[in-house]
Amino acid sequence: MDKTLIRRRFAKAVGSYSIRADVQRQIAYHMADAIGKYIPSGGRRNVLEIGCGTGMFTRAFLHRATPERLLLNDLCPEVEPYLTDLLANKRIHFAASDAEALNFPSGQNLIVSCSAIQWFDQPEKFLAGCRKLLTADGYLAFSTFGPQNVKEVVSLTSDTLPYRSLKELTDVLSAEYQIVYSREEKLKLSFASPLEVLKHLKETGVTGIRRQSWTRGELDDFCRRYEQYTAPDGTVPLTYHPIYMICKK
């Protein structure tokens, strides 16, 4: 992963993310609800959130929990101004860094990440490494995306991430954790045109791995081929494939 490019693309999208990221918001609420159901309140005292972004999941989580300490982390320092209301609470802190270095304090009751680890170089190594930061009965909770994510775009371009399947994640994590909860689902958005699909992806930072700008010819060709997915009502779809997991040390 080109972390510099990813950071730059998300930094550009930070102002529109909270408005446009409808699927990510739905995922954040689902993740927050699952944590409330499967993790006891004692498991939510000291919390580390990886890839907090503008705080979409954070706010959903704080409506359901009152941690004694909450450390927010993101690759992009540009998100900090969007966390001002949260950071007014003296129990909440923010640190910008590459989370894969795992340079965080130990003694965490919960490490949580929502829609972030698919951008990591070695997500399995990171998830296994979180174990040493957790208390003896700590929890790891995260959402990511599976192989069918934005499949319409992937079928027309080479721009894709190495998404892991639920089975692949389960096989890896079962060696380190007890899996308390796992689920995957397919969520579909509809857009007026292929151009609107690309605009949505840009405004949510999902184009973070594409290095080159579209040429006019490439754009026209993409839109023409994307029309094969047109629904009877004239709209075109975009599929998201979220995966949720809660694991206990």
**Class of residue 8 by CB neighbours under 10 A (exposed 0-12, middle 13-18, buried 19+):** middle
pLDDT at position 61: 97
Q: What are the distances in angstroms from CA 65 to CA 44, 47, 244?
A: 7, 10, 19
pLDDT at position 16: 67
DSSP class per residue in 57-122: HHHHHHTT---SEEEEEES-GGGGGGGHHHHTSTTEEEEES-GGG--S-S-EEEEEEES-GGGSS-
CA 22, CA 204: separation in Å to the nearest integer?
9
Q: Are 239 and 146 in contact (CB under 8 A)?
A: no
Count of CB atoms situated within 10 Å of the CB of 28: 22
pLDDT at position 210: 57
Rounded to 10°, the helix 194-203/3-20 angle is 110
CA 93, CA 111: separation in Å to the nearest integer?
15
CA 66, CA 89: separation in Å to the nearest integer?
11
Q: Is 53 left (phi over 0), alpha (psi -120 to 50) or beta?
A: left
Question: What does the mean pLDDT of the chain come to?
Answer: 91
* 58-104 pLDDT tens trace: 999 999 999 999 999 999 999 999 999 999 999 999 999 999 999 99
pLDDT at position 214: 78
Is residue 18 predicted with pLDDT exceeding 70?
no
Is residue 48 predicted with pLDDT exceeding 80?
yes
Q: Are 207 and 13 in contact (CB under 8 A)?
A: no
Strands annotated E in 4-64: 46-50
Least confident of 35-44, 92-101, 163-172, 204-213: 204-213
Mean pLDDT of 157-174: 91
* 175-222 pLDDT tens trace: 999 999 999 999 999 999 999 998 888 877 665 455 567 789 989 999
Mean pLDDT of 23-36: 95
Residue 172 — pLDDT band, cuts 50, 70, 90?
very high
Q: Is 149 left (phi over 0), alpha (psi -120 to 50) or beta?
A: beta
DSSP class per residue in 149-187: TTHHHHTTSS----PPPHHHHHHHHTTTSEEEEEEE--E
Q: Are 121 and 2 in contact (CB under 8 A)?
A: no
**Class of residue 119 by CB neighbours under 10 A (exposed 0-12, middle 13-18, buried 19+):** buried
Half-sphere exposure of 123 (CA within 13 A, CB side): 25
Q: What are the distances in angstroms from CA 95 to CA 102, 197, 212?
A: 12, 32, 30
Is residue 112 predicted with pLDDT exceeding 60?
yes
pLDDT at position 71: 98
Is residue 19 predicted with pLDDT exceeding 80?
no
Residue 159 — pLDDT band, cuts 50, 70, 90?
confident
